[in-house]
Amino acid sequence: MKGLEFSINDMSDKQKLKNVKIIVCDLDGTLLANDGSISENTKKLINELHKYDVRLSFATGRLHSAVKAIADELGVNSPIISLDGSLIKAHPGGKVIYESFVKEKYVKRAVDYAEKYLLNVALCHSDAIYYTENHTVIPQTLNKFGAKYKEVSSYEGYLDKTLEIVYSSDMKDSIQYVKNRFMFPYVVGCSTSFFRSQRHHGIFYLEIRRAGSTKGKGLKRLLKYLHIRPENAVVIGDWYNDISMFETDAIKVALSNSVSELIRNADHVTKGTNNEEGAAEFFEMLLKAKKG
């Protein structure tokens, strides 16, 4: 039912909502307001849904370490998808369900390209983002909310546990060149994301992960681990990195501030934005179906 609106007055839709066992929600631009807050009403609705055995999890571009406090605040007791699917880690407890490291030879190549083309580069691990003194602008330019940054004397010793490589620069052509060098036939088994910064004028980013690391793939791995059928899951998002989740058989909810690609493929679009408790609208709809 892509592109259609769910209604708790429609018996088939109501039954689908009654069968929901887990909500997998994006954070920034979705569950969180722009200032990073979560309303008390949203917290209350999540707590009520827990009473009906509805799990809550996150699928986020953040590091795992940058979402633990939010998970604690909301009483999350499910594995969390972080770094856009590169890592799935239990919360609480920290058991690794899935991790996908970039091959060490490619990480070293990325560092060499950064030096050659004067690009800022950082290595994202599950616990922190590592950078050297030659790349001290990294903490100010990256959009990795809540991340812990660590300056190190050298990238040696940090090459083998890298979940994501991130470039940041105002030299668009250089970053695009490097992007092409991390595609077939130059490398095998990597995926890239190139985009302009929303917060910093003239800054461009390149993210490099191991192929197969997307939120959509992470969702499938999470549901398989929890023995939950995709049609018994809800995904909520707003941005391009959420598109892969909207290509699954889960119930798809887009906030009104979402990119058009998500809105076109959503089963339900909220009236409110992330700053207007848009996610809470759906939580309330789901709760009514559960009670009904």
201 and 110 in a common domain: yes
Tokens of 276: 């207007």
168, pLDDT greater than 60? yes
227 and 153 in a common domain: no
The answer to whether position 244 is within a domain reads: yes
4, pLDDT greater than 70? no
Kindly state the DSSP code that residue 59 receives in the 8-state scheme.
Answer: B
225 and 87 in a common domain: yes
Listed in order, strand segments (DSSP E) in the chain are 22-25, 55-58, 80-82, 87-89, 96-99, 120-124, 129-131, 149-151, 164-169, 190-196, 204-210, 233-237, 251-254, 268-269
The answer to whether position 39 is within a domain reads: yes
Q: Which of 168, 189, 210 is the last residue before a domain boundary? A: 210
Q: Which of 210, 240, 262 is the last residue before a domain boundary? A: 210
The answer to whether position 49 is within a domain reads: yes
- Tell me the CATH number at 184: 3.30.1240.10
115 and 165 in a common domain: yes
Q: What is the pLDDT of residue 91?
A: 96
The more confident residue out of 64 and 196 is 64
Q: Which of 152, 184, 210 is the last residue before a domain boundary? A: 210
147, pLDDT greater than 70? yes
pLDDT tens across 186-233, in order?
A: 999 999 999 888 778 899 999 999 999 999 999 999 999 999 999 999
Q: Are 120 and 137 in contact (CB under 8 A)?
A: yes
pLDDT tens across 258-284, in order?
A: 999 999 999 999 999 999 999 999 999
Peptide bond preceding 92: is omega within 30 degrees of 0, i.e. cis?
A: yes
Largest CA distance in the chain: 63
Q: Are 290 and 17 in contact (CB under 8 A)?
A: yes
Task: State pTM to two decimals.
Answer: 0.90
The answer to whether position 16 is within a domain reads: yes
110 and 192 in a common domain: yes
The answer to whether position 91 is within a domain reads: yes
The answer to whether position 2 is within a domain reads: no
Q: Are 151 and 139 in contact (CB under 8 A)?
A: no
203 and 80 in a common domain: no
Q: Are 3 and 266 in contact (CB under 8 A)?
A: yes
- Tell me the CATH number at 55: 3.40.50.1000
68 and 204 in a common domain: no
22, pLDDT greater than 60? yes
CB-count burial class (<10 Å; 0-12, 13-18, 19+) for 88: buried
Pairing of strands 164-169, 149-151: unpaired
202 and 67 in a common domain: no
Domain range for 218 is 11-99+214-291
Closest to 121 in 3D by CA, of 90, 76, 166 = 166
123 and 193 in a common domain: yes
Classify residue 118 as left (phi > 0), alpha (psi -120 to 50) or beta: left
> What contacts 62, CB < 8 A, 6 or more positions away?
27, 28, 82, 83, 144, 145, 146, 147
The answer to whether position 5 is within a domain reads: no
Q: What is the pLDDT of residue 283?
A: 98
**Helices marked H in 81-186:** 104-117, 138-141, 172-181
192 and 158 in a common domain: yes
1, pLDDT greater than 80? no
205 and 242 in a common domain: no
Q: What is the pLDDT of residue 14?
A: 86
Separation CA 141–CA 148 (nearest Å): 14
DSSP-based three-state secondary structure for 77: coil
Tokens of 144: 């990795």
225 and 85 in a common domain: yes
10, pLDDT greater than 50? yes
Domain count, the chain: 2
